[in-house]
Amino acid sequence: MARYFDVHPDNPQARSITQVADIVRGGGLVAYPTDSGFALGCRMGDKDALERIKKLRQLDDKHHFTLVVSEFAHLGEYVQMDNRVFRAVKAATPGPYTFILPATRELPRAMLHAKKKTVGVRVPDHVTALALLSELGTPLTSSSLILPDATEPMTDGWTIADELGNLVDAVLDSGDVGVGPTTVVDLSGDEPVVVRAGAGDPSPFE
């Protein structure tokens, strides 16, 4: 069964955050809150954990995993951005957006879209998610916690622990999860393409 960690939304208890980070470092899969519903997170490029996410969500190789970082400045190490894209992404972060961009060679192949060699990236605007990222000191590989028969991410930590307790290793809950999935914008081509309209305002990219 998953370990359940209940932390304060404004000042998450450091001991709990460290314990969840240790689970991630050890190859575990965790459910954690963001500004756009709960997400599944694991160590960057962990193939076994990525397969667990695919199985849980019933995903195929066309799915874009998301690299979640604590601040915009870290993105340049992992994705390629020209000046136009740089300005657009910076203006929208942190926030409930996922941007699809060409990956650099720093990223493990297992994370990338099989044909396009692209990856999703985002910077959440959520205290608990940022605390976990800060403790880890590295990005999370992530995917919205949207079950196969659903269109919206799960938003209740107790429900996740009850329904998915055998499928994840930890549930980190601060009771203040955002509602609705991220807005997904593909910036890998000549023009922006809104792949999914969600919690972030899509109008700047339409």
pLDDT of residue 169: 98
Q: Which residue has the tokens 């069964």?
A: 1
pLDDT of residue 62: 77
pLDDT of residue 105: 87
Q: How far from 40 is each of 30, 116, 118, 187, 203, CA to CA, in Å?
A: 6, 23, 19, 23, 27
pLDDT of residue 115: 77
pLDDT of residue 64: 82
pLDDT of residue 23: 98
pLDDT of residue 126: 97
Backbone dihedral angles phi then psi of residue 130, each to the nearest 5 degrees: -70, -35
Q: Strand, helix or coil at 54? A: helix
pLDDT of residue 50: 93
pLDDT of residue 61: 76
> pLDDT below 70 — which residues of the chain?
114
